[in-house]
């Protein structure tokens, strides 16, 4: 991968010395190579007979053809619009993926060298989505709903407690010791108790996820509010601000960068608790799906669910980054996700 990626800019550099047409031809080299490689992989998938008993070989072949044709289409369109040319930056990745899928297909479906069921073929992987999408989709939906409930409750509680701790000494007196004792305890330690105390496993899991979210958010909101410069308060006070204004319009906006760090940490730990809760208590969701797939030794399903889960977590983190970029547009040098 690194070798291929490094050649890409070098091609562009040398192209700069030549005429415009040559430069374009050079920048198209990688998408064309990626397209042809994928068509080649498709040829292997479709032409070489399977050594394993498999159902979705032709579908996988068609998918490979589609990817390859799309790359060639991008290359062709690059002559016309600069828009398509930007898609060409995925070409190095697609080349590596083509090689990966090709080798994977050869070692599993075609030559049957890797042991089943731990190493399913690419078509078995595709089959998970074509044949079990209903159950997978349902699990995804349940996971999302549970996560949203728990995270929302935890974020709201964590934020409010954090602001109260940062603002009021009296609140701090009572909450601080409790938080110091209970906060660092991993939320999963409550698991047996929670499933026993709460009437349903869903409410127990919501509680656990909320707990996991709330602690880091509380600590960071608190430190954010506590570290606001007193000069900011002085400015507002000389201009006639009351306490409500000082909290809502000075303390909270000033603490917001800290709050977002807390939200990222809270979201991360809520993922962990979600999966554990689903594996151990709730009879739905992606965590449960993983457990179920393992019970049937359906490793292809497990990999398929892991991919869905990775996409879900990544999408949620991305969403949080977007929200942060909107609200903290005034900060310079924000990390780009």
Partner 1 sequence: MVALARRVALDADFGAAVDLRAIDHGFDLHGAYLPVLEDVSFGIPAGQFVALLGPSGCGKSTLLRLVAGLERPRHGDLLVDGEEVRGPDPSRVLMFQDPTLYPWRTVWRNAALGLEARGLLKEQRHRVDQALALVGLNKFAQAFPHQLSGGMAQRASLARALVNDPRLLILDEPLGKLDSLTRLAMQGELTRLWQARGFTVLMVTHDVEEALLLSNRVIVVSDRPARVRADLAVDLPYPRHRDHPELLRLRREALGLLGLGQDW
Residues that bind partner 1 (CB under 8 A): 229, 231-232, 234-242, 245, 249-250, 253-254, 256, 328, 330-332
Encode 17-34: b = buried (16+ Cβ within 10 Å), e = exposed: eeeeeebeebbbbbbbbb
**Cα(43)–Cα(126) distance, integer angstroms:** 17
Least separation in angstroms between residue 326's CB and partner 1 is: 12
Task: CB nearer to partner 1: give 167 or 215.
Answer: 167
Least separation in angstroms between residue 317's CB and partner 1 is: 23
Least separation in angstroms between residue 221's CB and partner 1 is: 16
Least separation in angstroms between residue 6's CB and partner 1 is: 36
Task: CB nearer to partner 1: give 187 or 252.
Answer: 252
Give the distance from CA 233 to its chain's centroid. Answer: 39
Least separation in angstroms between residue 230's CB and partner 1 is: 10
What is the number of H-type helices and E-type strands within the chain? 15, 0
Half-sphere exposure of 271 (CA within 13 A, CB side): 15
Task: CB nearer to partner 1: give 63 or 251.
Answer: 251
Task: CB nearer to partner 1: give 81 or 238.
Answer: 238
Tokens of 258: 């800290």
Task: CB nearer to partner 1: give 104 or 245.
Answer: 245
Half-sphere exposure of 14 (CA within 13 A, CB side): 7
Tokens 């869905």 belong to residue: 308
Tokens of 278: 């689903």
Task: CB nearer to partner 1: give 250 or 305.
Answer: 250
Task: CB nearer to partner 1: give 197 or 248.
Answer: 248
Residue 12: count other Cβ atoms within 10 Å of its Cβ. Answer: 12
Least separation in angstroms between residue 170's CB and partner 1 is: 21
Residue 334: count other Cβ atoms within 10 Å of its Cβ. Answer: 14
Least separation in angstroms between residue 228's CB and partner 1 is: 10
**Cα(63)–Cα(109) distance, integer angstroms:** 16
**Cα(278)–Cα(291) distance, integer angstroms:** 9
Task: CB nearer to partner 1: give 250 or 275.
Answer: 250
**Cα(84)–Cα(31) distance, integer angstroms:** 11
Q: Is 256 exposed, middle or buried (0-12, 13-18, 19+ CB in 10 A)?
A: middle
Least separation in angstroms between residue 64's CB and partner 1 is: 49
């Amino acid at each position: 991968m690194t070798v291929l990626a490094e050649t890409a800019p070098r091609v562009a550099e040398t192209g700069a010395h030549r005429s415009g047409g040559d430069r374009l031809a050079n920048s198209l080299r990688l998408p064309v190579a990626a397209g042809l490689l994928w068509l080649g992989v498709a040829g292997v998938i479709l032409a070489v007979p399977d050594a394993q008993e498999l159902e979705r070989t032709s579908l996988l072949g068609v998918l490979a053809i589609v990817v390859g044709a799309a790359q060639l289409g991008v290359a062709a369109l690059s002559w016309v619009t600069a828009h398509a040319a930007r898609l060409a930056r995925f070409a190095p990745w697609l080349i590596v993926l083509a090689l990966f899928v090709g080798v994977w297909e050869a070692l599993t479906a075609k030559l049957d060298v890797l042991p089943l069921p731990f190493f399913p073929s690419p078509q078995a992987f595709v089959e998970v989505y074509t044949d079990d999408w209903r159950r997978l989709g349902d699990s995804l939906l349940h996971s999302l709903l549970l996560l949203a409930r728990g995270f929302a409750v935890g974020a709201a509680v964590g934020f409010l407690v954090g602001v109260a701790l940062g603002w009021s000494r009296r609140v701090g007196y009572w909450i601080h010791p409790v938080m110091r004792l209970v906060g660092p305890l991993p939320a999963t330690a409550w698991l047996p108790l929670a499933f026993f105390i709460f009437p349903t496993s869903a409410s127990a899991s919501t509680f656990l996820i909320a707990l996991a979210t709330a602690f880091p958010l509380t600590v960071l909101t608190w430190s954010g509010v506590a570290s606001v410069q007193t000069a900011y308060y002085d400015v507002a006070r000389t201009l006639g601000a009351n306490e409500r204004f000082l909290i809502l319009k000075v303390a909270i906006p000033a603490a917001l960068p800290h709050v977002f760090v807390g939200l990222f940490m809270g979201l991360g730990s809520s993922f962990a608790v979600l999966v554990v809760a689903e594996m151990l208590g709730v009879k739905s969701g992606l965590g449960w799906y993983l457990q179920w797939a393992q019970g049937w030794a359906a490793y292809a399903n497990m990999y398929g669910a892991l991919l869905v889960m990775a996409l879900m977590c990544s999408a949620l983190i991305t969403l949080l980054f977007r929200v942060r970029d909107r609200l903290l547009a005034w900060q310079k040098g924000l990390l780009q996700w």
